[in-house]
């Protein structure tokens, strides 16, 4: 159901398919208020997906409690995300976006846990969660 033209969608089309909060984060590089995402407390096994295009981004196995109020991961799935340097607000930060639709997800910082030492600080609004099916 996901078309391959996601990179070429116009803002108008995104506005129709995303909630205002998702649109603000994904398409306008917004940041949600910390502690507001229900995904902060998500502890089940499963897959975190891009709220824009549905691409799988992070496994629950790489999620950790960072104490920041944003869902945090130490490693994305292979080729799931891309990064660019963001110099807004007088800071140099590394911005993380979905490799497929280009939606803004959050930032990555070099103060995460082992084994990567990275902290992918994500907006919950940019993510969806699909819990693993319980085994019968």
In the 8-state DSSP scheme, what is residue 135? P
Alpha carbons 74 and 85: distance in angstroms, whole number: 19
Between β-strands 119-122 and 127-131, what pairing exists: parallel, antiparallel or unpaired? unpaired
Q: Which of 27, 100, 104, 119 binds Zn ion (CB under 5 A)?
A: 100
**Residue whose CB is less far from Zn ion, 20 or 117:** 20
**Residue whose CB is less far from Zn ion, 14 or 91:** 14
Does 76 participate in binding Zn ion (rule CB under 5 A)? Answer: no
Would you state the structure tokens that stand for residue 35, as one six-digit string?
């502690």
Does 96 participate in binding Zn ion (rule CB under 5 A)? Answer: no
Alpha carbons 26 and 61: distance in angstroms, whole number: 24
Does 9 participate in binding Zn ion (rule CB under 5 A)? Answer: no
Q: Which of 112, 113, 103, 60 is nearest to 81 (CA)?
A: 103
Does 101 participate in binding Zn ion (rule CB under 5 A)? Answer: yes
Would you state the structure tokens that stand for residue 19, as one six-digit string?
């909630």
Does 98 participate in binding Zn ion (rule CB under 5 A)? Answer: yes
Q: Which of 50, 53, 101, 121 is catalytic?
A: 121
Q: Is 121 a catalytic residue?
A: yes
Catalytic residues: 121
Q: What is the contact surface with Zn ion in residues (CB under 5 A)?
A: 50, 52-53, 55, 98, 100-101, 103
């Amino acid at each position: 159901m996901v078309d391959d033209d996601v990179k070429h969608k116009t803002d108008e089309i995104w506005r129709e398919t995303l909630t205002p909060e998702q649109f603000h984060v994904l398409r306008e590089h917004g940041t949600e208020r910390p502690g507001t995402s229900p995904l902060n407390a998500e502890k089940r096994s499963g897959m975190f997906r891009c709220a824009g295009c549905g691409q799988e981004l992070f496994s629950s196995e790489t999620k950790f409690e960072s104490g920041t109020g944003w869902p945090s991961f130490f490693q994305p799935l292979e080729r799931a995300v891309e990064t660019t340097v963001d110099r807004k607000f007088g800071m140099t930060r590394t911005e993380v976006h979905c490799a497929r639709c280009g939606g803004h997800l959050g930032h990555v910082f070099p103060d995460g846990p082992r084994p990567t030492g990275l902290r992918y600080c994500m907006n919950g609004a940019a993510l969806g969660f699909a819990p693993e099916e319980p085994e019968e």
